[in-house]
């Protein structure tokens, strides 16, 4: 009878060891998945930072173009006022072929 107890205990030990190994493998898999996701998140953060920099540069460039356009409009308006020939100029613009 003691041999039956030992055999049953041994079988239970094997089952418990197998279950423990499965849990260890699952933990390793989850840790690897966590690491991969953290790296992916960091990559997205880096990409977002790059895009913010690009957007900032584009907005600065846009503002410069707006200022330049405004200055040019002012110069053109001043030139028309000085010459008094806005109508003749606008007619020439309509007739011009590009």
- pLDDT tens string 38-88: 999 999 999 999 999 999 999 999 999 999 999 998 888 777 666 655 545
Query: Which among 74, 56, 54 has a CA at the least distance from the CA of 66?
Result: 74
- pLDDT tens string 17-33: 999 999 999 999 999 99
pTM (2 d.p.):
0.57
Interior/surface letters 30-43, b for 16+ CB within 10 angstroms, e for the rest? eeeeeeeeeeeeee
């Amino acid at each position: 009878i003691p041999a039956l107890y030992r055999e049953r205990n041994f079988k239970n030990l094997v089952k418990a060891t197998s279950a423990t190994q499965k849990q260890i493998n699952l933990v390793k898999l989850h840790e690897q998945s966590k690491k991969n996701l953290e790296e992916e998140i960091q990559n997205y953060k880096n990409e977002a930072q790059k895009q913010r920099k690009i957007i900032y540069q584009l907005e600065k460039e846009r503002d410069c173009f707006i200022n330049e356009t405004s200055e040019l409009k002012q110069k053109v308006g001043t030139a028309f006022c000085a010459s008094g020939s806005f109508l003749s100029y606008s007619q020439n613009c309509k007739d011009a072929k590009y």
